[in-house]
Structure 1
């Protein structure tokens, strides 16, 4: 975890900020050049890579019979029940943990910590508390197991690595042959997993000091060599320590054999050349007969050792300068991140933008290194202009290529601080998917099964991801698990039904919707919603209008006041055979008019019934009968709507087209033509169902024909004129 030394756990489990690093000085930002650039990233290429983002491992400590302490503390069950009933309430958990710590009851504490860390595994401070609990109780193996388990879940935690190493240093017998080997192996795992963190300095320092304590000065110098290439907050102190280490010991004690021999040979040749020149000058001035003093062959003088040290520092200075350039590019990004550790409290928008900007930049550097250098001249690194802290760089090129591992490390750091934000998980999976479907799947698994168990969107995106890659079984499992976690969420049931339909399993898709209809009878609105979805599936995909009609009619028995049910049933009837649908349409309209619907909705149904009769009825008497009923309804519910039916409304208003633009009637109708009012049926009601408006109400463009005047017609159309007398 980035900068985990920046905060400590208070008594109630809340995170309180403290000193940034346990060091005597806080470094200033590295010197900057005048111009900004995207630059390249220095890497810790020599550190072995460790996989980041492990599979989530369910935490379970083995229980021993001797661990049981009898009855649990008095208030434990009450606090435990409160945490179990409200698992997303962080305060309930911290109250429980604080109580267990105060009571000092190991069984209660172990039970509470296991449950808490299964839900909030990124709280590294509680892993440390758990390990200390087991160590104080005398269970050293269990303490180690807790640390290992915690590091599997959060391998970037510098503090947890240090805690684990200190635990081993305090429990292992260092006189045993394999103990130093084991400690060194853990150090290597630690720097491989979290050594690229910008705030990993304490881990590197601990490794170096331990090697010195073991008397392995060459190993200590090798670790210093590695950290000199890693952009960290205290990069300059590592170089100072390297120089001090080199000056405090003979070069052959700190350098590798190969490097030492190479520099020794080079410096001796240089020294011989200097001495030959000096000897020639001295011989000219030496008295006759006096010979040159003989220097023993193969002797390494202090002068030679100093020359070797100078050459070593000359080489390291180039590495240091390159690394300083990498630190400079990242410094302002790192400085803008104020909370690099996990907490349930939300981050402010500026912090989220800072993470996005940092990721944008790091990915841009990787893309820059993988592209043709000439094409990169026309592209700039992607950076957020809203973030005040922008990276700067010098004119020099570090010569160290950015790699995918560094991008992943930054993503993992981000997902510690932003673990509760779906946008970063989605971004990480999109980045990984292009490289490895399995790795992207593992990230989805961590997000959905640990951190975002109650966020349906990312679960559905996971299911879509699995379906896109052909694993329908896993997609089904993801959606089924989500529905168990969040029962009654309609969008999840619809996703499941749609998945089955796309797979050709129409029976299963229908069964899922039928089950939803049956289970939602106590909720009329939800019942109507599912009934409409099921009816549409049966009608559009199953080609079974009879069953679809039955579903809607049954739903209307439960929700007679649901206008959407009436509208969908009307849509079903009018979309059938017009010669066979007349009575069914009339029955549907009659049912709607008798239902407790809003007045404007009833007018819409009456108008649609009248239009259907005019379009398809074989009897003028039935058309006139429906017209009279419609006029009566308008009089009762619509008031002035009747005038519009008979062409009495202002023609300037009626000349307004469907798109809302008013047309000049004097331009549309030639001056020599007698004025005839332009009429339309009542326009569709804005409050009605939009699908009904699209299907039933958009007729005014048919009936309103002012443009025909330009073709010589002597009057415009009035759709009702010629059928019905003015009333």
Structure 2
């Protein structure tokens, strides 16, 4: 989309957004966000809507893909401070643009200012269902709960902790999720749960984030500021305490032997109380704790270092309708390539520097690095999915990333791939026909013809008039064995396009070929083309397909029909070179299948007269004076596939004409986009190039 959004209120907050779906290391979750339903607008008692609301509302709905129209409406409602208007506008806007997390925050704040705390919570929950990757929206939701819940109630801390766990499970593995982890730690400290705070710090030490080193510093500070038994799990504390005591006893025994040699005779060793945890012992426990965490920290630092340049190359991790430049798109592709290569653990590129590759936008495979048993493996399927989900926030309007995610998921789970198609087509890419048709193909390939039909029908209803969608529907029915339904769809398209001659001719050719090739009904096919010629008498493609129909029949019975078709084409308002080619085709048919030399000579004389009438250049070509390479060029300058070798210039071409129509390559809504299906440029593929030299041996010069 090329529409640039105007400066939005709180746009600065968007610069901090980094969408990520992630799970806490202990409990990975599926990154697929649940489907969400917008909360209905709640009417209040403020009476009529503001004066300009209806005008701005109509402008937004008349052109729903114009982001500026929506932001104008939302800014107006905010300026008017009208709750009903704001609700209605926000509900409609967020149903279309659910990844704009800033407007979910605005919606929640609107309800909170109106005293609807429950409604504000519901809005946040709806927003997090739509975009569970938003660190900022999770923090906003938690702060809302902290400001509205009565923390004296025993269930309130439990609910807050539960929301924190949901937050770190959904967004905690984001490279920029440090603020969420810090908020969790500080809240546990405020609750007096030092052990819980240490456990949260322990978890984040294993997560590669931008501020990974600060988390380690905070862990050290927390450890040194409290007794180890107050922050460590009882099992770990007892294990370390026993280990340190044994080490301390061994040191004291060795020290005692040295001191005994120096002690005066008769003086005994001072007694040490049994079971006493001295400060020296506590310090040894702290040192041992840090020895264990330091290994985790070093491993995590290695993971951060490998990702740093990939993350640094991403300049806009939040959603916006403004187009991304090529470097940004390449950065996302490069990051995905690298993460998938880590999953595959391919050693062939182990010498490639990941930082250099990230800056160059290349596919890389990072050096294999050992991960300690305490650190969960980050190069797994879950990590790849997280990155895809993050990518689909910034690149939600780009089909290529949705398709790439689907191709990654489909071998693992058809249902998960189907869910991604649903999200892409029904929320973010409602006006992109290519991905909808790929969805229909996906469903047909997996045997769900009903869903494939529904997808195509919905696409045609949303964007009426797309020829490629109608053709896909007809092809689907044909493959399903419903030839009558396929024919009916094309007949309907022919009937509905009579006001558009080019499109009408296109559908008529498609219908005629279906009737001829599959319906085995040449008479009906002929009637369709003849009716189309009544509407488009200057369309050479219709004459060409009618001629193909006639020459493909019984040569003994169709001679008259072929010459009649040629005569009709010569009388039509067609270009001179086109008429000459039709005349040549008629002459070649007469030469190949006529029963009398008189009829051949008659056609030949008519052809010579036409050459004289339309100019001498074509006569020269007929006599073999023109370069055959020039005649083999198509309208667009591309060479025709069937070239005549110089040694064969005097040999008649007997190869039958190739099919008129090819494969649906380009998805365009116009008739011209399908020209390759029924247009033979210069009709060269029939083998007419310079084919008339051999006639010089049969016919006298005119």
Q: What CA distance in whole angstroms lies between the structure 2 residues aligned with 1:654 and 1:442? A: 53
The CA deviation at 1:282 is 1.7
Q: Is the 8 A contact 1:47 1:191 kept in 2?
A: no
Q: 1:697 aligns with which of 651, 663, 687?
A: 687
Hey, what does 2:169 align to over in structure 1?
A: 192
TM-score of the pair, normalised by structure 2: 0.88
1:532-560 per-residue CA deviation (whole Å, 9 max, x = no partner) reads 00000111111111110110011011111
Hey, what does 1:575 align to over in structure 2?
A: 552
| Match status 1:53 vs 2:28 | no
Q: Which moved more, 1:624-633 or 1:228-237?
A: 624-633
The CA deviation at 1:692 is 7.4
The CA deviation at 1:680 is 8.2
1:666-699 per-residue CA deviation (whole Å, 9 max, x = no partner) reads xx9xxxxxxxx96989xx9xx9941773564347
Q: 2:370 aligns with which of 397, 400, 405?
A: 397
Hey, what does 1:388 align to over in structure 2?
A: 360
Hey, what does 2:585 align to over in structure 1?
A: 608
RMSD of Structure 2 on Structure 1 (CA): 3.0
Hey, what does 2:701 align to over in structure 1?
A: 726
Q: Is the 8 A contact 1:528 1:559 kept in 2?
A: yes
Alignment of 1:327-476 (within 5 A): 327-368=304-345, 376=347, 387-388=359-360, 397-399=370-372, 400-401=376-377, 402-476=379-453
Task: Kindly tell me the number of residue pairs found equivalent between the two proteins.
Answer: 660
Q: What CA distance in whole angstroms lies between the structure 2 residues aligned with 1:453 and 1:94? A: 20
* Change in CA separation of 1:563 and 1:131 when aligned onto 2, cut-off 3 Å: same
* Change in CA separation of 1:651 and 1:221 when aligned onto 2, cut-off 3 Å: closer
The CA deviation at 1:478 is 0.5
The CA deviation at 1:452 is 0.6
Hey, what does 1:40 align to over in structure 2?
A: none
Alignment partner of 2:556: what SS?
Answer: helix
Q: What CA distance in whole angstroms lies between the structure 2 residues aligned with 1:435 and 1:215? A: 45
Alignment partner of 1:48: what SS?
Answer: coil
Alignment partner of 1:159: what SS?
Answer: helix
Q: 1:502 aligns with which of 476, 479, 484?
A: 479
* Change in CA separation of 1:650 and 1:602 when aligned onto 2, cut-off 3 Å: closer
Q: What CA distance in whole angstroms lies between the structure 2 residues aligned with 1:288 and 1:640? A: 133
Q: What CA distance in whole angstroms lies between the structure 2 residues aligned with 1:18 and 1:346? A: 16
The CA deviation at 1:377 is 5.1
* Change in CA separation of 1:568 and 1:129 when aligned onto 2, cut-off 3 Å: same
Q: Is the 8 A contact 1:131 1:146 kept in 2?
A: yes
* Change in CA separation of 1:88 and 1:616 when aligned onto 2, cut-off 3 Å: same
| Match status 1:155 vs 2:132 | yes
| Match status 1:278 vs 2:255 | yes
Q: What CA distance in whole angstroms lies between the structure 2 residues aligned with 1:169 and 1:655? A: 80
Q: Is the 8 A contact 1:326 1:398 kept in 2?
A: no
Q: What CA distance in whole angstroms lies between the structure 2 residues aligned with 1:377 and 1:458? A: 34
* Change in CA separation of 1:576 and 1:699 when aligned onto 2, cut-off 3 Å: farther
| Match status 1:632 vs 2:609 | yes
Q: 2:59 aligns with which of 78, 82, 87?
A: 82
| Match status 1:528 vs 2:524 | no
5+ residue gaps in structure 1? 1-8, 23-42, 669-676, 705-717
Alignment partner of 2:695: what SS?
Answer: coil
Q: 1:15 aligns with which of 4, 11, 14?
A: 11
| Match status 1:73 vs 2:50 | yes
Q: What CA distance in whole angstroms lies between the structure 1 residues aligned with 2:316 and 2:627? A: 67
* Change in CA separation of 1:604 and 1:153 when aligned onto 2, cut-off 3 Å: same
Q: What CA distance in whole angstroms lies between the structure 2 residues aligned with 1:601 and 1:466? A: 44
The CA deviation at 1:395 is 8.7
Q: Which moved more, 1:356-365 or 1:399-408?
A: 399-408
Alignment of 1:254-265 (within 5 A): 254-265=231-242
| Match status 1:543 vs 2:543 | no
TM-score of the pair, normalised by structure 1: 0.86
Q: Is the 8 A contact 1:10 1:16 kept in 2?
A: no
Hey, what does 1:5 align to over in structure 2?
A: none
The CA deviation at 1:16 is 3.9
Hey, what does 1:6 align to over in structure 2?
A: none
Alignment partner of 2:49: what SS?
Answer: coil
Q: What CA distance in whole angstroms lies between the structure 2 residues aligned with 1:631 and 1:607? A: 10
1:624-652 per-residue CA deviation (whole Å, 9 max, x = no partner) reads 221111111110013243355457x4899
* Change in CA separation of 1:109 and 1:275 when aligned onto 2, cut-off 3 Å: same
Q: Is the 8 A contact 2:516 2:525 kept in 1?
A: yes
Q: What CA distance in whole angstroms lies between the structure 1 residues aligned with 2:265 and 2:17? A: 68
The CA deviation at 1:247 is 0.3
1:11-50 per-residue CA deviation (whole Å, 9 max, x = no partner) reads 735834788699xxxxxxxxxxxxxxxxxxxx97634223
* Change in CA separation of 1:385 and 1:621 when aligned onto 2, cut-off 3 Å: farther
Q: Which moved more, 1:279-288 or 1:348-357?
A: 279-288
Alignment of 1:88-237 (within 5 A): 88-237=65-214
Q: What CA distance in whole angstroms lies between the structure 1 residues aligned with 2:15 and 2:65? A: 30
Rg comparison, structure with higher value: 1
Alignment partner of 1:184: what SS?
Answer: helix
